[in-house]
Structure 1
Amino acid sequence: MQSQLRAGIFSWLLVLTCIIVVVGFAGDAFNARQASEGGPSGSLRVPPTAAGTSSAKPSNTSSATGTSSPSGTPTRSTPSSTSSSAQGPSSHPATPSSGSSSPPGTATPSNSSASNSPSAEPGGTFPEVPADYVLPAIHDGMVPVLTKVPTKQKIVFLTIDDGANKTQQQIDLLKSNNIKATLFLAQLFILNNPDYFKGFLAEGSKIENHSISHPLNLIKLPHGLQKKEICQMSDYEQQQYGRRPVFFRPPGGPYTLSLRKVAAQCGIKAIVDWNVEVRAGRVNYQEGKSLTPGDIVLMHFRKEFPQDLQAFLTAQRAAGLKVVLLEDFLAVS
């Protein structure tokens, strides 16, 4: 009896031992599997991105501003050539800030002179502005007439008449403000010192025809006297300044079909009037209350020249226009 009891106990101990061994092997296998999948049992596997580690992103080749760096930050693609000979405003696009959505090759406006406001130079003369208007040719023997240039360019033209008052300050003011102007001179006012106006020519301004004696009744004079007033002044200016004028401004501004024919006979390409006048430090507009693109502004060589020029510059800057020489824009010499 006792021997059977001992045999039974031994059998149960043997079974229990086997169970313990099997359970032990199973536990080791489970722990090994957990360790291979992310650490000890009970720890949570954290994705690298959630732990603050940047994961690699595929290159975004369709970025709006060029190619993308591995970190995903847009970088500017390098142009294949920097030898562009395009004239006029800078043809190189401004580099956008990070994250800009401007398409490649699109210029981004900057805070420099490429914007609508004038350049750092007070006057802001830009003779290289591309023309979007062509001066009409002489038709039926008559020159065209301009009171304003039909252009969408943000530009304005300064013209100065007569030539009676002559001071070095006037030359210096145009020079210091980087302004080139069209000077309509009458022999009556410049005969005592024609060389004075060479100072303006040296800075890029042009001299045009304003008649011999400045007759305000020019349109009522006989054909012969009209021709004398215009043709002889052109001859005089060519002799004095080495260039024959291409524009004529009638004294006071009025013209007729007959006068347009006389001007053509004297080699003139256009009669140029105005639509804005600066006088006594005030800007007077024929239409509106501010300068607009293509306006032709009239000033005079008078004692109040500094005040008139300042009034013009104030209006020009307020309108965001650039001062351009009329002859340059219309490509006439």
Structure 2
Amino acid sequence: MVTFQSMQIGQFKLNNRLIAAPMAGISDKPFRQLCLENGAALAVSEMLSSNPDVWKTPKSKHRLIHDDCGIKSVQIAGSDPTEMALAARVNVDSGAEIIDINMGCPAKKVNKKLAGSALLQHPKLVESILTEVVNAVEVPVTLKIRTGWDKDNRNCLEIAKIAEACGIKALSIHGRTKACLFNGEAEYDSIRLVKESVSIPIIANGDIINPIKAKAVLDLTGADAIMIGRAAQGKPWIFQEIQHYLDTGELLPKKTLSEIRSFVLPHIEAIHSFYGEEKGYRIARKHVAWYLADYTPDDQFRRSFNALETASAQLEALEVFFENHY
């Protein structure tokens, strides 16, 4: 059993050690709210570019709406210190209570702009960005990184010490280098080294797919909290499962299809409402595929569902699916 230790990010005290990771195209308001309702102490928003030219696009406007329940943590990405500071201020003015800086994304389209994990190659620029952002806002600033650029250039400890000196209030570390993408096993020893070397809270991320792994990562790294990303796709109740295991040492029973229905329908309705009909039904498709992956092995339902082009047709198809499967 893991003894609960509260984690503080600036003035905010989290009610547990479980954080929902920011995931581009996934961690929108409906998804974050669902994670929070199911036991996440904090759900960080998907990445918002620091480039002011894109702030008026529909995608960015959705990400600038900060009226969620819970602590409002917004992630920004970019490489220009002045632009990053401005982006931080804009988000705080829109309601953000924590600013998270992305230096962990390995995507080519982000890295080619010297943003995301590409910044790990340039510690001086990292220092400039962190300094500018921390000085620009009154709210806590956090940072997300990887262990380094590649296996020959692991510098997470150097970056962590820079972050601490610049006033970063918590550091999330995905236990892979940029070059590893999501391949291979996460390097929990690197996270542990950082935890032993700095005083700011450390959040471990990478390959945390179930309650047993969650406890193992907390034990291995000594981290103050863990961050769950891909494992929450189609399974937002994973936070509840992990917390129960940490509290009791017991695993909760697998969700029944009837219980899964109670998650799927409200979530899809929330997506339709948040994005509007046309965009909503498109975004809903991937979430439905994740929720029902174990129940539609032949892929037939997914193909037919993805051909539907109205919100009402999607909800009707889901009702029929659940009626026929339990």
TM-score range, shorter chain: 0.3 to 0.5
TM-score by length of 1: 0.36
- Of structures 1 and 2, the one with the larger relative CO (CA 8 A, separation 6+) is 1
TM-score of the pair, normalised by structure 2 = 0.37
Structure with bigger gyration radius: 1
More helix by share: 2
